[in-house]
Structure 1
Amino acid sequence: MFGTTVDERRAFAILDRFVDAGGTWIDTANCYSFWADPSGFGGQSETLLGRWLARRPGVRDRVAISTKVGCEPLEAGRFPETAEGLGAQTIKSGIEQSLRRLGTDRVELYWAHKDFRRTPVEETVGAFGELVNAGLVKRLGCSNFAAWRMERSRRAAADAGVVGYTAVQQHHTYLRPRPGTRPTVVHRFGFYEDELRSYVESHDDIAVWAYTPLLSGAYTRADKPLAEEYDHPGTVARLAALDTVAAELGTTRNHVVLAWMTGDRPSVMPIVGPSTVEQLDEAIAAMEVTLTPEQRSLLDSKA
């Protein structure tokens, strides 16, 4: 939300604190945050990050940046029906615009933000591969993809002799949604579900990233109720397990969720989106929390 609901002063303070604490990855997207801007279009987050980098000499070499293409609306107020998609020209112009806003000559990771099935995967992976060959992008990833679509894309890239996706970014948290529900906060294929997890486990070259791991504060804040898809008995059992482990460690639900995620096998990188320095500090503190095998077993045993 940098550049929209989080103004420049606060965003710069959060970014400064992140780097001072040893943070190295900053994740954004070309469409952030079209839904929060009166114009109905994105680019605000990348633009703010570009200003921050320009005013912090030397910081660009200390951080890795990932951004995304595919979800910027072509018409204000009409998403997802006018999402830009993953055509070759869209990918090419998308990276050019992102690099200009960020004020940099490359990004360390470029994401296909959302699967776009009207474009042949061969066209999409070919265009992404050209960016890697040109030195504009170091790695590629896909977000909100079904497992079979990721596999088809990786196979198409291999057949074409270009670099394929080596990272996947999905919605993932400790609580599980009620089966059969359409989530209100993620894309249709956005869950890190069992099939995708099995696919990742069988390929040691794929990194897993998780967005909205703390459910926008719902684990700890009374003013942030859980979404409807989490209204089922399994949630009660999982929250009780979280509270048990948090009490044993003298910490918070948020800390336990992040420790559970980063200590998983394969490990999952949680993407936190703090709107204050205090929220960032809480996430940083979670990196000092280590679960015992017994605590992890308790957490994993709840259906």
Structure 2
Amino acid sequence: MRQRTIGTGPDTRREVSALALGTMLMGTRTDEKTSFAILDRYAEAGGTFLDTSNNYAFWENGDQGGQSEEVIGRWRRSRGVGDELFIATKLGARPLAPGTGYTDNAEGLSARTVRESSEASRERLGLERIDLLYAHIEDRGTPLEETVEGFAELVKEGSVGMLGVSNHSVWRVERARALAAAAGLPGYEVLQYQHSYLRPRTDIGDPLCRYGNIGGAGPDLLTYLEAEPGLTLVAYTPLLSGAYTRADKPLPRDYDHPGTAARLAVLGEVAAETGATPNQVVLAWQIGHELPVIPLVGASSVEQLEESLGALDLELTEDQRARLDAAA
């Protein structure tokens, strides 16, 4: 599988697969047998980058999550999988009690939570070290310095390899990175945000946070990524949960604007020219982007994963890419 370099430090720079596999619903909506089959096929294809979170998928069973990490841990042990995989997980958005959620009762990002939750994740995953640990959502009730120092301590101890951040305002990402740099501490090197070919509106609120639409990779974040070449964007929900190809999966309301029709038209043209599916074109567009973008795809079946894997063999021409980019 094609590779992508992430991280900039001598101790954090790693080669990972250009297509990451999301495991959010494994162990809940996706049963263990199917989950194992998907993980087997991804590894067989040369995939090395698995993504999960300590709260996946609490909303399925009304509990606190952790099933996805547990499935990965059981799969690793049953297959004898070691350090050849790069495993990322997140903390901060796990509900403190069953029946609650991250919008009203999240664990947050205090130094104590960062340590205790990361230790619990390592136990569920069966890892001595988490390769990449994200701050999942903002916690404005905890001083940013405390969060930065808490994450950095795990890297210094060796229980975490690299740090990332997801669903944060760009200014808070920059402030956290500046605090870490000023103190000589490891800081965030990977950003995980929702990003796809279609462009969402930025004036519609994000349910992740009352501070606005901060979960999507809007112009501010993409400009920041361009200005900071050491960062990598891991793009979640790149296929918009099936909306590009399935009539029963309507586009989210923030894509209801005139530019969507124009971009869908060009996407359809390029798909017809290449003989690929629209989903594969979207992934190939991201993988070949001039910015460092790694699509993060989910799959509820091996067949869905196969479609995504097919994007790795799709090379868009300069003309096709230019047309995709120019559509308004």
TM-score (norm 2): 0.89
Contact 1:145–1:190 (CA<8 Å) still a contact in 2? yes
2:57 aligned residue = 33
The separation in 1 between residues aligned to 2:206 and 2:278, in whole angstroms, is: 22
Runs of 4+ in 1 over 6 A off after TM superposition: 184-187
Give the CA deviation at 1:61.
2.2
1:222 aligned residue = 247
1:82 aligned residue = 105
Give the CA deviation at 1:184.
6.2
Q: CA-to-partner distance for each residue in 1:113-170, whole Å, 9 max, x for gaps? A: 0121111111001000000011011100000112111110001111222100001000
Match of 1:96 among 98, 119, 131: 119
Q: CA-to-partner distance for each residue in 1:185-213, whole Å, 9 max, x for gaps? A: 89841111111111111112111101000
The separation in 2 between residues aligned to 1:184 and 1:110, in whole angstroms, is: 22
1:62 aligned residue = 84
The separation in 1 between residues aligned to 2:160 and 2:202, in whole angstroms, is: 37
Greater displacement, 3-12 / 230-239: 230-239
SS at match of 1:237: helix
1:195 aligned residue = 220
Letter in 1 for 2:254: E
TM-score (norm 1): 0.96
Alignment of 1:268-287 (within 5 A): 268-287=293-312
SS at match of 2:117: helix
Contact 2:192–2:236 (CA<8 Å) still a contact in 1? yes
The separation in 1 between residues aligned to 2:68 and 2:123, in whole angstroms, is: 13
Contact 1:4–1:36 (CA<8 Å) still a contact in 2? yes
Alignment of 1:121-140 (within 5 A): 121-140=144-163
Once the two structures are aligned, what percentage of the paired residues are identical? 50
Contact 1:182–1:229 (CA<8 Å) still a contact in 2? no
The separation in 1 between residues aligned to 2:213 and 2:113, in whole angstroms, is: 22
**Alignment pair present for 1:14 and 2:38:** yes
1:155 aligned residue = 178
The separation in 1 between residues aligned to 2:236 and 2:112, in whole angstroms, is: 27
The separation in 2 between residues aligned to 1:8 and 1:74, in whole angstroms, is: 25
Unaligned runs of 5+ in 2: 1-24
1:169 aligned residue = 192
SS at match of 2:249: coil
Residues 246 and 185 of structure 1: CA distance in aligned 2, closer, same or farther (over 3 Å):
farther
The separation in 2 between residues aligned to 1:178 and 1:166, in whole angstroms, is: 26
The separation in 2 between residues aligned to 1:77 and 1:4, in whole angstroms, is: 16
SS at match of 1:130: helix
SS at match of 2:246: coil
Instruction: Work out which structure has the larger RCO, using CA pairs closer than 8 Å and 6 or more positions apart in sequence.
Output: 2
Contact 1:70–1:112 (CA<8 Å) still a contact in 2? yes
- CA RMSD after TM alignment: 1.4
The separation in 1 between residues aligned to 2:46 and 2:304, in whole angstroms, is: 16
Contact 1:262–1:270 (CA<8 Å) still a contact in 2? yes
Give the CA deviation at 1:257.
0.4
How many matched pairs?
A: 301
The separation in 2 between residues aligned to 1:183 and 1:161, in whole angstroms, is: 33
Give the CA deviation at 1:73.
0.6
2:168 aligned residue = 145
Contact 2:202–2:213 (CA<8 Å) still a contact in 1? no
